[in-house]
Amino acid sequence: MEIKGKNAIVTGAARGIGRGIALKLAQAGANVALVDLGDPADPALTYNLAAQAELARTVAEVKSLGVKAAPILADVTRFDDCKRMAREAADALGGVDILVNNAGIIAIGMVADFSEAQWDRVMAVNAKGPFLCAKACLPYLARAGGGAIVNIASIAGKTGRAGAAAYCASKFAVVAFTQALAEELGPSNIRVNAVCPGYLRTAMWTEVLNKAAGAWGDGAGDNLEKISRHGTFLRREQTPEDIGEAVVYLAGAGNVTGVALNVAGGAEVH
């Protein structure tokens, strides 16, 4: 599928991986609806989510690349919000051809100490969110005669790790959902794939994982640099731009569906 001139929705688009995806899609000529919650505070989390000002800056960056860009505030855990998101994106851009389910959160802790509220919140955003967004966008993708859904999973959805059970479980769910939905939607010419990022310097890492990386690093300093150097074949961390390039490929690869593509420098090869 030719990306240029197509209309894409990216959730969790204000910063980090979502920003990288939105910019790469725009560089490829796609119009982009950038979706984010716009509320930094979440009582189940130990770090702040993106603010509306960050979303506005990313929208301006996308527009500067010569494509249409529309900001949309929505909670991906609420179906009414997801339906409004799809409708507003279609109205602003002229349709929906690509959906990128990127919105995600993390909470860490050993299962014995992990709260039910934290578990429910992680699963709601990371696993239920892609389901609701896909469900809301399906009528628009069908109207376009087909299209692409790309779910952002994680290498944590391939191999579980102690202290991150909820996050890992949610990302395993995303991979399974991707496979099942790909089979369901194949006859409608809608391809469904996933990207599994590795080690990235985003808020999830700097604000959460690096502070608790004693199990993987030495518990001090820049654990991302240490883990990337010793835990990947390519000896380097990944970037939001790397993930964006993979999304652009999967959005346009006309005969690829049902895959969960690792973008992890060799940290995960299964």
Number of domains in the chain: 1
Strand order in the sheet with 98-101: 69-73, 31-36, 7-11, 98-101, 147-152, 190-197, 260-263
pLDDT confidence of residue 221: 65
Question: Strand pairing of 7-11 and 147-152?
Answer: unpaired
pLDDT confidence of residue 209: 87
CA–CA separation, 90 vs 96, rounded Å? 6
pLDDT at 255 over 70: yes
pLDDT at 226 over 90: no
Residue 167 appears among annotated catalytic residues: yes
Q: Residue 96: give its domain's CATH number.
A: 3.40.50.720
The parent domain of residue 215 ranges over 7-263
pLDDT at 217 over 90: no
**Residues 12-36: pLDDT tens digits?**
999 999 999 999 999 999 999 999 9
pLDDT band at 195 (very low <50, low <70, confident <90, very high): very high
pLDDT at 216 over 90: no
pLDDT (mean) for 161-177: 97
pLDDT confidence of residue 210: 80
CA–CA separation, 97 vs 145, rounded Å? 9
Does residue 76 sit within a domain?
yes
The neighbour count for residue 117, using CB atoms within 10 Å, is 11
Residue with tokens 């009528």: 139
Crossing angle for the helix pair 240-252 and 16-27, nearest 10 degrees?
Answer: 50
Share of the chain above pLDDT 90, in %: 91
Q: Which of 47, 140, 167, 199 is catalytic?
A: 167
Angstrom distances, CA of residue 92 to CA of 98, 140, 145: 14, 13, 19
Does residue 2 sit within a domain?
no
pLDDT confidence of residue 183: 98
Q: Which of 78-82, 94-98, 133-137, 226-230 bottoms out in mean pLDDT, i.e. has the lowest?
A: 226-230
Does residue 250 sit within a domain?
yes
Does residue 268 sit within a domain?
no
Residues near 234 by beta carbon (within 8 Å), at least 6 away in sequence: 265, 266
pLDDT (mean) for 209-217: 63
Query: pTM surpassing 0.85?
Result: yes
- Average pLDDT for the chain: 95
The token pair at 49 is: 């989510």
Does residue 240 sit within a domain?
yes
* Bridge partners (DSSP) listed for residue 87: none
pLDDT at 220 over 70: no
pLDDT at 214 over 90: no
